[in-house]
Structure 1
Amino acid sequence: MRRGWIWIAILIIYCGAMAYYFLHQPAGQIPAALRGGPADPATFMTPEQIENAHRLATIGYLSYFISTPVEWGILIVLMTLGCSSWFRSLAERLTGWSLLRMAVYLLLLQLALYVIELPLDYYLHELNRSYGLTNQSASSWLLDIAKGFGVNMIISIPLYWLLYTAIKRSPRRWWLWGWAVSVPLTLFFTFIQPVVLAPIFNDFKPLQDQQLKQQILQLAGQANIPADQVYQVDKSKQTNALNAYVTGIGSTTRIVLWDTTLKKLNADEILFIMAHEMGHYVKHHVLWGTLWGIVESFIGFWLVFRLFHWIHRRWGSAIRARGPLDYAGLPVLLLLVSVLSFAASPLDNAISRMNEHSADAYAVELRGDPDAGIRAFQKLASVSLSDVNPPALTQFFLGTHPTLIQRIDYFQHSKGASKPAG
């Protein structure tokens, strides 16, 4: 009990430190050398937009850095209070078939986690709606949550059942079997999922603007991308943010634009964004990223294996699990994966930022129009109320892209960019 109070005190101190750090970040602050230039938000955003972007970013950063350890704590509490073991016992009473037991247990566990996390998720959704970042109604949002829950259950139940079967049959090598199964799943979710699962949540249809379609396909031809169709997707029912992407491989290659992007950007700006996305495809960033993920998951599975058995030996009675084969210990796996993913995020994000910069450079080379890039990213910032210069801690743990001021400044100094007057 005393140890529990110590951890609570540490969590309170941590939350206070995070609040102090983020609440004392000034709005719209950028390096002095960039003030007054195209990377300065004061030149393309109103004071109200800058303040709203800062307020939204602060809330988002706080919710992430505070909710993440709180979620870890929730998993621990579900085990130590006996909730997880109660879910397992109920599943055992209902059925003797191991697959159905896993289904019942996982359904109860995930429902509990969804219900606990729903208030914060709903608050953030309503916050985005109040700032005009989404027009999605609460009922539509909840429907998407339900769809995501259903898809998650369909995928998770057989996977976790297979994992626990491997733990039973190969106590010392189950992590290797788990990793081997994860490889084709990783390839599926990287290259096939956008074509197979994404339509569950949104409607995809051929791009209606025929002139823009031909320009994009011509650009794809210059980049040697095997595509004969461009799609638009109705993301405006969920968000007002802008995005586009090139996904798939071979016959599954798909060029997609969000309808919000079509509404907010001019043709030359859209073509620059598409050139950036094509840069990822041409430079095989997704493929290399997938290979890195497979290597990283190999290390991760081994670490989870070592830590999973150590935790069961050290705290098996505290988490109320009968041993490594007990489903009641599944939150340990979820906790370990979450903690290790958090620990790996700085390295993963550093690699991602390099790839994003490489794609920016490719877009400048392919289009030869960095001014369009400047305008596109200025609009992206103002429409999405983005923080153009996030705090260092945020960029370190969450920054998958260079900051917007870094990207705009890069375009400004690229060959072919218009030089500021004077």
Structure 2
Amino acid sequence: MSKRKITIYLIIGYLIYLGLIYLYLFHWDKGDISPEIAGTSVDPSIFMTETERIQAEQYSSIRHFLFFLQIPYEWIFYFLLLLFGWGKRMEKLAEQTSTFQLIKIGVFSFYFSVLSFIVFYPIRFVSWVYAKNYGISTQSFSYWMKDHLIRFWIDFLLLFLIMTVVIFFIRKKGERWWLYTWFSAVPFVLFFMYIQPVVIDPLYNEFTPLTNKSLEGKILSLAEEAGVDAEHVYEVDMSLKTNALNAYVTGIGGNARIVLWDTVIERLDEEEILFIMAHEIAHYVEKHIYIGIVGYLLLLFIGLFFTAKWMNVVIRKFGKILQIDSLGSLSSFLLIIGMISVLSFSASPLVNAASRYQEMRADRYAIETVKNVDAGISTFQKLAKSSLSQVNPPILVKWFRYGHPTLKERILFVESYRDSYEKQ
């Protein structure tokens, strides 16, 4: 089959896929509230205006559509780079640049990073425009571009490091390259998680100790009761970028941090903030970050194993049409990251399900710690309003996008504690 026919079939298949996704998100499953919970604390009509409900449905559907649009778009991009010889051309240009392998890989990585930035820029720009139009993003275009340029250089550096390691082991260890790559990834992942809060995150935002010392004292009391050794709670100036609300735990070891967005401080009352912080402290208590790292490394092990097995088959059968001379060629790395991307997406329902379980445990810890049902419910309602989120998203969206339980599930879960605490 000619390259032209392959491309035409690929585009037709992609357009059919997009049509089905559009019908699913905008017509077939819009996440409507069932009659039995209408009028309850889960019903958006209770805590949102009519305009907010309409905007939440529209904006959520658009965000979900852009997500499902981008995933196969990425795979097609990698495939067409190889099919039409762009991967091979980048490899030849890199080979002509220097005799030093590191420089060759650096040049190839840079070409690929620039091309990727250009190809994915339209989707990212459209996402920002919709977020701006719906009042979620507060970023100016220049500020938004600054973040993306920072991301470009970080992604380029990571790509260069990963590609250097992978190509080195492919050429030195042959069929067992995937195993040596995985072993080298373990310390790298741990190191990256350790430096992220103090090196990577500050490139995007300013982090400072919580200025409300009375509130910080109450949060640190919650941490102390849980056996968490924390000296500070950090706030980050996210209001410069978004109107959404969030808090999170990041980092490991001495660099682990509990972080509050300043939008949370501005828009939630003290009881709601304490509920959120109890939730975040639960991640410390139950060591979810470390469990997540172990889970990630396990999935990486499996992913690299299957990628190595499939690479040999694909190069043997389709290496000529994809213009890949050997497994150790620079252009073969495009096939590797394409396969990893497919496997990662395929595993995302399992990963998200595990994450939702951890988040539900953190919600349980929070409500059992603060014992304030109303604060928990109002917190989730305000989260929905601030980010224009669907309370009950479509099931495919939940499977592939939600690392947290749906807002419907979280509100109903907290609501289930009402009788217990009202009797006390």
Shorter-chain TM-score: what band? over 0.9
Q: 1:235 aligns with which of 232, 235, 238?
A: 238
1:1-28: per-residue Cα shift (whole Å, max 9, x none)?
3344333332222121111111105767
Change over 3 Å in CA distance of 1:250–1:190 after alignment to 2:
closer
Q: SS at 2:260's partner residue?
A: strand
User: Any stretches of 5+ residues in structure 2 without a counterpart?
Assistant: none
1:247 CA drift (Å): 2.9
Aligned length, in residue pairs: 419
Comparing 308-317 and 371-380, the one that deviates more: 308-317
Q: 2:19 aligns with which of 12, 16, 29?
A: 16
Match of 2:337 in 1: 334
1:418 CA drift (Å): 7.8
1:290-324: per-residue Cα shift (whole Å, max 9, x none)?
11111111111101111122211111111112211
1:353 correspondence with 2:356: yes
1:384 CA drift (Å): 0.9
Match of 2:296 in 1: 293
CA contact (8 A) 1:204 1:231 kept: yes
Change over 3 Å in CA distance of 1:175–1:335 after alignment to 2:
same
CA contact (8 A) 1:412 1:418 kept: no
1:270-297: per-residue Cα shift (whole Å, max 9, x none)?
0000001111110111111211111111
Tell me how far apart the structure 1 counterparts of residues 293 and 245 of structure 2 sit (CA, whole Å): 24
Change over 3 Å in CA distance of 1:92–1:250 after alignment to 2:
closer
Tell me how far apart the structure 1 counterparts of residues 305 and 29 of structure 2 sit (CA, whole Å): 43
TM-score (norm 1): 0.96
Q: 1:66 aligns with which of 69, 85, 93?
A: 69
Match of 2:37 in 1: 34
Q: 1:368 aligns with which of 368, 371, 376?
A: 371
1:253 CA drift (Å): 2.7
1:262 CA drift (Å): 0.7
Q: Percent identity?
A: 36
CA contact (8 A) 2:30 2:393 kept: no
1:198 correspondence with 2:201: yes
Q: How does 1:247-396 map to 2 (within 5 A)?
A: 247-396=250-399
Q: 1:212 aligns with which of 209, 215, 220?
A: 215
CA contact (8 A) 1:236 1:259 kept: yes
CA contact (8 A) 1:27 1:50 kept: no
1:241-277: per-residue Cα shift (whole Å, max 9, x none)?
1111233334223221111111111111000000011
TM-score (norm 2): 0.95
Q: SS at 2:327's partner residue?
A: coil
CA contact (8 A) 1:319 1:329 kept: no
Q: SS at 1:170's partner residue?
A: helix
Tell me how far apart the structure 2 counterparts of residues 255 and 123 of structure 1 sit (CA, whole Å): 32
CA contact (8 A) 2:30 2:394 kept: no
1:36 CA drift (Å): 0.5
Q: How does 1:90-109 map to 2 (within 5 A)?
A: 90-109=93-112
Comparing 243-252 and 149-158, the one that deviates more: 243-252
1:238 CA drift (Å): 1.7
Comparing 157-166 and 48-57, the one that deviates more: 157-166
| Corresponding letter in the other structure for 2:89 | W
1:415 CA drift (Å): 4.3
CA contact (8 A) 2:278 2:370 kept: yes
1:110 CA drift (Å): 1.3
Tell me how far apart the structure 1 counterparts of residues 165 and 254 of structure 2 sit (CA, whole Å): 31
1:210-253: per-residue Cα shift (whole Å, max 9, x none)?
11111111111111110011111111122221111233334223
| Corresponding letter in the other structure for 1:347 | L
Comparing 19-28 and 55-64, the one that deviates more: 19-28
Change over 3 Å in CA distance of 1:29–1:418 after alignment to 2:
farther
CA contact (8 A) 2:197 2:256 kept: no
Tell me how far apart the structure 1 counterparts of residues 406 and 176 of structure 2 sit (CA, whole Å): 42
CA contact (8 A) 1:370 1:416 kept: no
1:392 CA drift (Å): 0.8
Tell me how far apart the structure 1 counterparts of residues 28 and 228 of structure 2 sit (CA, whole Å): 43
1:113 correspondence with 2:116: yes
Change over 3 Å in CA distance of 1:264–1:28 after alignment to 2:
farther
Q: SS at 2:386's partner residue?
A: helix
Tell me how far apart the structure 2 counterparts of residues 291 and 324 of structure 1 sit (CA, whole Å): 29
Q: Provide the aligned C-alpha RMSD in A.
A: 1.6
CA contact (8 A) 2:197 2:255 kept: no
CA contact (8 A) 1:244 1:273 kept: yes
1:53 correspondence with 2:35: no
Match of 2:189 in 1: 186
